[in-house]
């Protein structure tokens, strides 16, 4: 049973516009959430995270929003750049180091 | 970049043969992990280690064993490889300060692409 779901396998966005990547989870014990970015032939790299005590965390062009009642988080990238084209994974943990990852969303930013 | 290397980077082997993948870190991080990445499944945890000789199973541990005799090395062994173990394998490390946080996240190695014929 998939505890962390990314229902959109792919997303295309025009350069300069906003990219919104979504993630849903089912386990109410999750209290820390992360986004990783992955380029082809490389390992995932940490992008941004959020604790369940917050509903928003911002880092430059990247903002993560958490809606605990809906068990939903989203990653906003504004403005989107061609270098943002990658696969994005959301992950969740219940306070431990064991992350549960989603299946990933491939973002393509069109120049 | 975190000092994580994986070897080999690519391997083709035959069904039934043993395979060992190596992860080496220079960061002196306490925790080390092995994941596999497959289309439609994302990243799934195979095994992890929270110290020398201390290991535990992840969600897809069947058919895999691990060993950690030194802080810097974490080995993943497929005792008898099967075609279902064809995958990309990633090693990760984390500081292990006590709780996941923005300053204690997992850092990933470059991956090993394994093909079992």
CB A84 within 8 A of CB A91: no
As a whole number, mean pLDDT of residues B103-114 equals: 92
Q: Each residue of A50-76: pLDDT tens digit?
A: 999 999 999 999 999 999 999 999 999
CB B64 within 8 A of CB B77: yes
A11-15, A57-61, B36-40, B86-90: least confident range: B36-40
Residue closest to A110 by CA, chosen among A79, A71, A75, A81: A81
Name the interface residues of B facing A (CB cutoff 8 Å): 4, 31, 33, 35, 40-45, 48, 50, 58-59, 90, 92, 94, 96, 99-102, 105-111
Tokens of A7: 């229902």
Q: Which residues of B45-58 are buried (b: 16+ CB within 10 A; e: fewer)?
A: bbbbbbeeeebeeb
Write the DSSP string, B32-47. Answer: EEEEEEETTTEEEEEE
Chain-chain contact of A43 with B92 (C-beta, under 8 angstroms):
yes
Q: Each residue of B65-84: pLDDT tens digit?
A: 999 999 999 999 999 999 99
pLDDT of residue B47: 96
CA distance A96 to B104: 11
**B65 to chain A, closest Cα gap in Å:** 18
pLDDT of residue B103: 77
CA distance B51 to B69: 9
Instruction: Count the neighbouring beta carbons within 10 Å of the beta carbon of residue B81.
Output: 22
Within 8 A of B50 by CB-CB distance, chain A residues are 97
The residues in A 18-47 lying below 8 A from B, measured between CB atoms, are 32, 34, 36, 41-46
Chain A / chain B CB contacts < 8 angstroms? 65
For chain B, say whether A1 makes contact (Cβ under 8 Å).
Answer: no
Mean per-residue pLDDT of chain B: 93
φ/ψ of residue B83, rounded to 5: -60, -25
CA distance A86 to A92: 20
CA distance A60 to A57: 10
The three state secondary structure string of B50-108 is EECCEEEECCCCCCEEEEEEECCEEEEEECCCCHHHCEEEEEEEECCCCCCECCECCEE
Q: Tell me A104's DSSP state.
A: -
Residue of A nearest to B105 (CA): A46
pLDDT of residue B1: 56
């Amino acid at each position: 049973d998939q505890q962390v779901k990314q229902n959109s396998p792919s997303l295309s966005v025009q350069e300069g516009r906003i990219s919104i990547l979504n993630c849903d989870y089912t386990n109410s014990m999750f209290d820390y959430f992360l986004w990783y970015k992955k380029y082809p032939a490389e390992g995932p790299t940490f992008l941004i995270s959020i604790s369940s005590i917050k509903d928003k965390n911002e880092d430059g062009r990247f903002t993560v929003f958490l809606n605990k009642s809906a068990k939903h988080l989203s990653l906003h990238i504004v403005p989107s750049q061609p270098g943002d084209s990658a696969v994005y994974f959301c992950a969740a943990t219940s306070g431990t180091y064991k992350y549960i990852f989603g299946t990933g969303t491939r973002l393509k930013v069109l120049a | 970049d975190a000092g994580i290397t994986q070897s080999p980077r690519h391997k083709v082997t035959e069904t039934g043969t043993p395979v060992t993948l190596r992860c080496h870190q220079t960061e002196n991080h306490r925790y080390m992990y092995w994941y596999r990445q497959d289309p439609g499944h994302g990243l799934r945890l195979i095994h992890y280690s929270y110290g020398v000789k201390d290991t535990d199973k992840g969600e897809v541990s069947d058919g895999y064993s691990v060993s950690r005799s030194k802080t810097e090395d974490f080995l993943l062994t497929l005792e008898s490889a099967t075609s279902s173990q064809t995958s990309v394998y990633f090693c990760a490390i984390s500081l292990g300060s006590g709780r996941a946080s923005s300053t204690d996240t997992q850092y990933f190695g470059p991956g090993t692409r394994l093909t079992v014929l």
